[in-house]
Structure 1
Amino acid sequence: MRNTHFIILLCLAVLLSYVFDLLSRRYRIPSVLLLLGTGMLLRQLADYTGFQIPLQNRLLPVLGTLGLILIVLEGALELELSPDRLPLVRRAFRATVLTIVVSTLAIGLFLSHWLQQPLVNGILAAVPFSVISSAVAIPSVRIFPAFSREFVIYESSLSDIIGVMVFNFIIYNIPGGWWSMLAFVKDTAIMCGLSVACCFLLLYLISKINHSVKYFPIIASLVLFYAIGKLYHLSSLLLVLVFGLFMNNTELFVRGRLKRLLHNELFEQELTQIKNLTGETAFLVRTFFFLLFGYVTDLPSLFDTTALLGSLGLITIIFSLRFFIFRTLGDRRLFAVIPIAPRGLITVLLFLSIPESLRLNGLPSGMLMLTVILSVLMMTGGMLRYHWQTGKPLEPKL
C-alpha cells in the first residue's frame, strides 16, 4: 500500500506542476516559486506523518545534473545560426563573461570579508551565485520579443557553461598557476573537438535507427558522454550546447557526401519530435528537482535575520553590476531583460558540489534558498514591469 501511495504522490506532483506552469503563463508567477513552496509544505506534512523520502541527498544532485543537461539542450534546440545573429551571440557572450568575472570577484570579496574566510573560498562560493539559471530564465521569457528572448537563451545557456568551467578551474587547477591555465585551454579545445565528433556520431545514429524507440537512446548517449567528460573534469555542458545547435542547424554542417550519408532531409522531419521529447522530459526532471529542493530546505533557516541580510547584499551586488554591464552594451532593446537573471538549478548544483575543505565556514544555511527566491522575485517584477509598459498580454498566443 505504501508503494501505491508513493505512485499517487508522483502523479499528483506532475499534474500539480502542470497546473503551476499554466498559472505561470497567465499570471507571471514563476512556477519555480510554487514548486519550492509545495516542497516545503510537503516537508511539514512528512514530518507530521513520519514519512521520509529515501536517498534525498543523493537524488538532488542527480536530478539537478539531468535537469541542467535537458534545459540547456532544450534552449539550444530553439536557436538558429545565421550571419545576422552573430552580433547577438557576441553581445550575449560579452555580457556573460563580464557578469561572471565581475560578479564572482565582487561577491567573493563580500563573502570573504563578511565571514573572515580565505579569498579563494569566498570566490569559489561566489561562482554559483554569479551564474544565471537557464532552467528558470528560459521558460520565463515567452512574452518578450524574439530578439530579447534569443538573447536570454544564449546568455543563460552560456552562463551555465562558462560558470561550470570557471568553477571546475578553481577547484581542480588553481594550485597549478599558469600551467593550469594552459591545461584548461587545452581541455576546452579537446572538448570542442569531441563535441563536434559526438554530434556527427549521434546524427548518424538517428539517421540509421529504424526502431520505434529512437530518441531516448540518443539522449541517454548524450548524458553518457556528458558524464564521461565530467570524470575528466572537461566542460561537458559545451557538448550539450553544441549538440543542440548542431541538431537545429544541420543544413549548415551536413553538406555534400555527408548529406547523403546522414539523410539530413529525414532528420529535419523528425526534429519536432526531438524538441517535444526534450521539452517534456526537462519539465518532468525540473518538477521533481525543485520539489525536492523545497523539501530538503530547513524552513526556520529562511527566517534567520543574518541569512536575509546576506541574501539582500548578494542581490544588490548582482543586479547593480548587471545594470552597469548592460549599460555598457549600449543596446536599449536589452534593457528589459536586466531583471531576468534568476538563480536556481545551476546555483544549487554548483553550491552543493563545493568540496568540504573549500567551503565557507559560518555561511547561513538559508542564504542559498533566499537568494534563489529573491532573484526569482526580481525577475517576476521585471516581467510585470515590461507587461505594464508595453501592454502585451501576460499569456502569449502559442
Structure 2
Amino acid sequence: MNISDPYIIVLATSTLVVFSYIFDWISKKTNFPSVLLLLGVGIGLRWFFTTSEIEVPEVKDLLAIFGIIGLIMIVLEGALDLNITRGKVKLIYSSLFSALVILLATSFFIAGIIYFYTDQSFLISFVNAVPFSVVSSAITIPSVSNLSLHKKEFLTYESTFSDILGIMLFNFVIVNEIINFHAFSAFFGELILLLIISIASTLALMYFITAVKSHHKFFMIFALLMIIYSIGKMAHLSTLVLILFFGLVLNNNRLLQKLSPGKWSRFFDFPTLDIELKFLKSVTAEVAFLIRTIFFVLFGFSFDFVLLADPSVWIIGTLIVVAMLLIRFLYLRFTVRTSILPEIFIAPRGLITILLFFSIPAGKEIANLGQGLLFYVIIVTNILMMIGLMIWKGDKNEITVSSIEEARSNNVNEDIIQELNDNMDSTDIIGHS
C-alpha cells in the first residue's frame, strides 16, 4: 500500500474526523476524555506502521505547527463563550488568582522534585517544571459541559488563564538567566505593551468584521490573529493575551455600548456585529475541533512505548501528579474554601504542556526527562479528570450548560435564559467567597 497516495491521505483524514465526532459524543455521554481516544488512534497508527514495516515519518514539526494553531483557536473559542456580567467579576478574579497561585506553587514543587532527582541547577529544573504545571484549556473546556454554569465558567477561565500565565512564566525563565529587578521591570513593561497592542488590535478587528461584507472574512481574522501571535512570540511576548482579550470584548460588546453608546456606535455597527458573532463562534468551534483532533492523533503517533520502560518515568511522573493534586487540594480547600469535587481532578495536562516541553532550549533540556515522562503525566492527569467527572453527581438544583442549551433549542425566551445566566451565583454551590 502506498501511503503517499493522495486518495489514501484524504480517506484517512476524513475517517479520522468522523471518528473524532464519535469520540466527542462518547465523551459527553460517559465523561471519558476524547483526547485519550485520539491518542489511542495515534498510537494504533504507529503500531500499524511498525508492524507493516512502513517507515515511521517524523511528525515533530507538524506537531508544533498544529499545536500553535490549535492553541490560538481553542483560547479564542473559550473566550467567545464567556459572558462578563457584574455578578461574574468576582468569579474572574477568583479564577485568575487560582490559576496564578497554583501554577507558581506547582512549578516550584515540581522543580524541587526534578532538582532532587537530577544534578541540574534549580533554575534549569524550574524551566523543565513549568510545562508540567500548566492546565490544558484545550482539554478542560470541552470536558466540563455537563457541570453547572458556575463551575464550568470557573474551570474555563482558570484553564485559559493557566495557559496564558504558563506561557508568560515559561518565556520569563528561559529569557532571563538571572532573575532580578531588571528582569521583573522588563516583564511588566511587556505587559503594558501587550495591553496597548490588544486594545488597538481588538478595535481594528471589530471594525473589520462590521465593515467588510465578504463571506470569507473569518479566516482573514484567524490569519491576522495568527500573524500578530507569531510576531509576538518571536519577540518573546505572550500575545495569547490578545486572543483572550479579543474574544472577551467581541462576545461582550454590549459593555462598549453601555459605556458610551453614541461614541462607539459611530465606529461599529453593533447589530451587524452580533449577527456576525454567531457565525464566528460556529466557525471557530469547527476549526478548533479539527485542529485539536489532528494534534492529539499526531502526538499519539509520535510516541514510542519503549520510553515507558524506564522506572524513573513512573517514579518522577507519579511524584509530579501527587504534587499537582496536593497543591490543588490545599488551595481549593483552604484558600478558596470551595467544594473540591470535581475541581481537584480537572487539571489535565495537554496541548500547552507538549508545546512548552518541546520549546525548552537545548542548553536547558534534562536528558532523563524525556517524552516518556511527558506522555505519562498527560495520560494520568486525563484519567484522573475522567474519574473526577464520573464520581461527581452534581446537585439537582444546579443550572447546567446542557440545560441552557436545551432551553435555547426549545425556543425558551432569551430574557429567561439570560436571567438564569446572570443569577447562577445564587443557584450554584461552588461557594467562592
Q: Secondary structure at the match of 1:387?
A: coil
Paired residue type of 1:377: I
1:66 equivalenced with 2:69 (yes/no):
yes
1:302 aligned partner: 308
* Inter-partner Cα distance in structure 1 for 2:28 and 2:286: 16
* Inter-partner Cα distance in structure 2 for 1:140 and 1:190: 34
Q: TM-score, normalised by structure 2?
A: 0.88
Paired residue type of 2:210: S
* Inter-partner Cα distance in structure 2 for 1:139 and 1:130: 20
More helix by share: 1
Paired residue type of 1:160: D
* Inter-partner Cα distance in structure 1 for 2:322 and 2:164: 24
Q: Is the 8 A contact 2:33 2:386 kept in 1?
A: yes
Tell me by how many angstroms 1:389 deviates: 7.7
1:52-79 deviations in whole A, cap 9, x for unaligned?
Answer: 5655111001111111111111111111
Tell me by how many angstroms 1:231 deviates: 1.4
Tell me by how many angstroms 1:272 deviates: 1.2
Tell me by how many angstroms 1:101 deviates: 0.9
Q: Relative to structure 2, which stretch is displaced further, 70-79 or 330-339?
A: 330-339
Q: Is the 8 A contact 1:326 1:335 kept in 2?
A: no
Paired residue type of 1:207: T
Q: Is the 8 A contact 1:92 1:155 kept in 2?
A: yes
* Inter-partner Cα distance in structure 2 for 1:395 and 1:73: 19
1:292 aligned partner: 298
1:42-100 deviations in whole A, cap 9, x for unaligned?
Answer: 00111233445655111001111111111111111111112211111111111111101
Q: Relative to structure 2, which stretch is displaced further, 210-219 or 160-169?
A: 210-219
Does the C-alpha gap of structure 1 residues 179 and 274 become closer, same or farther in structure 2, counting only changes over 3 Å?
A: same
* Inter-partner Cα distance in structure 2 for 1:202 and 1:182: 30
* Inter-partner Cα distance in structure 2 for 1:259 and 1:21: 40
* Inter-partner Cα distance in structure 2 for 1:154 and 1:52: 42
* Inter-partner Cα distance in structure 1 for 2:267 and 2:58: 46
Matches within 5 A, 1:33-72: 33-52=36-55, 54=57, 56-72=59-75
1:362 aligned partner: 368
RMSD over aligned CA atoms reads 2.0
* Inter-partner Cα distance in structure 1 for 2:124 and 2:244: 29
Paired residue type of 1:211: S
Tell me by how many angstroms 1:345 deviates: 0.5
2:104 aligned partner: 101
Paired residue type of 2:168: M
1:267 aligned partner: 273
* Inter-partner Cα distance in structure 2 for 1:384 and 1:390: 16
Tell me by how many angstroms 1:396 deviates: 4.5
Alignment partner for residue 189 of structure 1, among 169, 188, 192? 192
1:296-346 deviations in whole A, cap 9, x for unaligned?
Answer: 001122243321122111100000110001112344356431211000000
Q: TM-score, normalised by structure 1?
A: 0.95
1:234 aligned partner: 237
Q: Is the 8 A contact 1:174 1:180 kept in 2?
A: no
Tell me by how many angstroms 1:388 deviates: 7.6
Q: Secondary structure at the match of 2:393?
A: helix
* Inter-partner Cα distance in structure 2 for 1:213 and 1:363: 45
Q: Secondary structure at the match of 2:368?
A: coil
Paired residue type of 1:321: I
Structure 1: unaligned runs, 5 residues or longer: none
1:143 aligned partner: 146
Q: Is the 8 A contact 1:148 1:334 kept in 2?
A: no
Tell me by how many angstroms 1:240 deviates: 0.5
Structure 2: unaligned runs, 5 residues or longer: 406-433
Matches within 5 A, 1:106-185: 106-175=109-178, 177-185=180-188
* Inter-partner Cα distance in structure 1 for 2:91 and 2:158: 10
* Inter-partner Cα distance in structure 2 for 1:246 and 1:196: 9
Does the C-alpha gap of structure 1 residues 124 and 253 become closer, same or farther in structure 2, counting only changes over 3 Å?
A: same
Q: Is the 8 A contact 1:115 1:363 kept in 2?
A: no
Q: Secondary structure at the match of 1:300?
A: helix
Paired residue type of 1:138: I
Paired residue type of 1:110: I
1:281 aligned partner: 287
Alignment partner for residue 206 of structure 2, among 203, 207, 214? 203
Tell me by how many angstroms 1:271 deviates: 1.1
* Inter-partner Cα distance in structure 1 for 2:371 and 2:38: 20
1:361-381 deviations in whole A, cap 9, x for unaligned?
Answer: 322541100100000011111
* Inter-partner Cα distance in structure 2 for 1:12 and 1:280: 16
Q: Secondary structure at the match of 2:145?
A: coil
Paired residue type of 2:345: P
